[in-house]
Chain A
């Protein structure tokens, strides 16, 4: 399946997600060209690193508007880890610890740091509990383990954005949904067979849209 663009925002390990997508018969291209992104059939938006650096990179390359255009057209969109967090309104993660940093605001809510009472970062395999029977989690049992590595989590303003929860001291949002825009906090490209299944499910969602 072609027309899928993996967004290169400068920081992410793109090779792993590219290889994982290929493994499930998606034929993605990697690009940081706003025109290519805006015309994509579907977007995979990975990210590791810092929220504020990523926002700077998006603005510098004029990627924010291109991403928002894709989301506005309700094209299938999968944000991964920081790529999911960037969908939110704002984040506490910033060099300047006083003010928060603005995200894409496609999903209203905040990105917050895990409390220091927990082991932070949250690293390892944890269970994901989907809140609805959604095609993204087709054939994935409730409580399937996925690989996480993050210090911040998303807190959408309304519950309708929550697609799945994971327990780490408290239940936090591990997947979000708004139309065909999805975000997952875990790394499907590092989550073994379960992760490949989720990417394959995303492929089916793309096929159903076309």
Chain B
């Protein structure tokens, strides 16, 4: 059985791990290579580095972080944040990343998805979608979500479900779907958003934003039909260990990769 994946997300700024709440209020959470090794030994199924560095010089640091991490961590590594060319994708992949996650640049120029997919394969291209509920709508209208870019600061006017479908057509291999409403709240994933996107695409969807309890993760993987859950705060601050999460999901009947001991 294909296992449901637990994926710690490390937000990296200027080479350090940080975690924001609702995309602001940044707090320091440590050295990325150390944190990556820790989660690897804890039984993480993959890791995501999201580079939230603003400066171009600072952005070079992520290449170094990837390179050092890939020397000691032998699970899949996804890197996102500011990737706007296939050459930069190539540099990250050559440094040891397995997938790159595109967001703002892909919305500006969707052909970047197909260019990346053709050069590196669909499996390398993850599309990160930051979606926010459209609240001021008539009661009769169905739920809709708008895509935001630039770390959740800029509304695009695009519908999140439609963008997911287009990204899949262009060659995306996975979707990393973040609910901006839920992110950092620990109140649970936006299950309506998840169900809407997983119902519209065939490619795997990673649920992100809002994990506070084990039940939240279970719901994202069942009601939300996600293939994987991304988690940051509840792991970084030790609320749960990955083994606890996997034990819980396993008891509930979901397939998970057992936590192995490193040799």
Q: Which residue of B lies closest to A14 (CB)?
A: B94
A119 vs B74: C-alpha distance in the bound complex, in angstroms? 25
Q: Which residue of B lies closest to A49 (CB)?
A: B121
B residues in contact with A16, CB < 8 Å: 70, 74, 96, 98
How big is chain A's contact interface, by range?
35 or more
Of the candidate stretches A33-41, A57-65, A101-109, A121-129, the one touching chain B is: A121-129
A119 vs B203: C-alpha distance in the bound complex, in angstroms? 6
Per-position 1/0 for A179-210, Cβ under 8 A of B: 00000000101111111110000000000000
Q: A125-B5, A190-B76, A190-B98 are in contact. Are A120 and B202 (CB under 8 A)?
A: yes
Say yes or no: A127 contacts B1, CB within 8 Å: yes
Say yes or no: B202 contacts A197, CB within 8 Å: no
Q: In the complex, what's the smallest C-beta–C-beta distance from B67 to chain A, in angstroms? A: 8
A127 vs B1: C-alpha distance in the bound complex, in angstroms? 6
Q: Which residue of B lies closest to A48 (CB)?
A: B121
Interface residues of B in 239-263 (CB under 8 A from A): 257-258, 260-263
Chain B, interface SS category? loop
A139 vs B259: C-alpha distance in the bound complex, in angstroms? 16
Q: Which residue of B lies closest to A145 (CB)?
A: B257
Say yes or no: A124 contacts B45, CB within 8 Å: yes
Say yes or no: A192 contacts B202, CB within 8 Å: no
Of the candidate stretches A66-74, A146-154, A156-164, the one touching chain B is: A146-154
Say yes or no: B74 contacts A15, CB within 8 Å: no
Most A CB contacts (10 A, CB to CB) among B74, B93, B202 go to: B74
Say yes or no: B74 contacts A151, CB within 8 Å: no
Say yes or no: B98 contacts A19, CB within 8 Å: no
A167 vs B2: C-alpha distance in the bound complex, in angstroms? 8
Q: A123-B173, A124-B3 are in contact. Are A192 and B263 (CB under 8 A)?
A: no
Say yes or no: B3 contacts A190, CB within 8 Å: no
Say yes or no: B123 contacts A149, CB within 8 Å: yes
Q: A49-B121, A121-B122, A150-B123 are in contact. Are A196 and B227 (CB under 8 A)?
A: no
Whether, in the assembled complex, A31 has its beta carbon less than 8 Å from a beta carbon of chain B, the answer is no
Q: A124-B45, A190-B76, A193-B261 are in contact. Are A19 and B96 (CB under 8 A)?
A: yes
A168 vs B2: C-alpha distance in the bound complex, in angstroms? 7
Q: Which residue of B lies closest to A13 (CB)?
A: B93
Q: A119-B202, A190-B98 are in contact. Are A124 and B2 (CB under 8 A)?
A: yes
Say yes or no: A48 contacts B124, CB within 8 Å: yes
A residues in contact with B98, CB < 8 Å: 13, 16, 149, 190
A26 vs B223: C-alpha distance in the bound complex, in angstroms? 45
Whether, in the assembled complex, B185 has its beta carbon less than 8 Å from a beta carbon of chain A, the answer is no
Say yes or no: B262 contacts A193, CB within 8 Å: yes
Q: Which residue of A lies closest to B262 (CB)?
A: A193
Chain A, interface SS category? mixed
Whether, in the assembled complex, B104 has its beta carbon less than 8 Å from a beta carbon of chain A, the answer is no
Q: In the complex, what's the smallest C-beta–C-beta distance from B121 to chain A, in angstroms? A: 5
Say yes or no: A189 contacts B74, CB within 8 Å: yes
Q: In the complex, what's the smallest C-beta–C-beta distance from A51 to chain B, in angstroms? A: 10
Say yes or no: A151 contacts B96, CB within 8 Å: no
Most B CB contacts (10 A, CB to CB) among A48, A124, A197 go to: A124
Whether, in the assembled complex, A116 has its beta carbon less than 8 Å from a beta carbon of chain B, the answer is yes
A126 vs B4: C-alpha distance in the bound complex, in angstroms? 9
Q: In the complex, what's the smallest C-beta–C-beta distance from A130 to chain B, in angstroms? A: 17
Per-position 1/0 for B202-242, Cβ under 8 A of A: 11100000000000000000000001100000000000000
A15 vs B262: C-alpha distance in the bound complex, in angstroms? 21
Most B CB contacts (10 A, CB to CB) among A48, A125, A189 go to: A125
Say yes or no: A125 contacts B45, CB within 8 Å: yes
Whether, in the assembled complex, B21 has its beta carbon less than 8 Å from a beta carbon of chain A, the answer is no
Whether, in the assembled complex, B186 has its beta carbon less than 8 Å from a beta carbon of chain A, the answer is no
Whether, in the assembled complex, A20 has its beta carbon less than 8 Å from a beta carbon of chain B, the answer is yes
Say yes or no: B74 contacts A23, CB within 8 Å: yes
A16 vs B98: C-alpha distance in the bound complex, in angstroms? 9
- List 6 interface pairs A-B (beta carbons < 8 Å), by A numbering: A13-B94, A15-B95, A119-B203, A119-B204, A121-B173, A197-B263
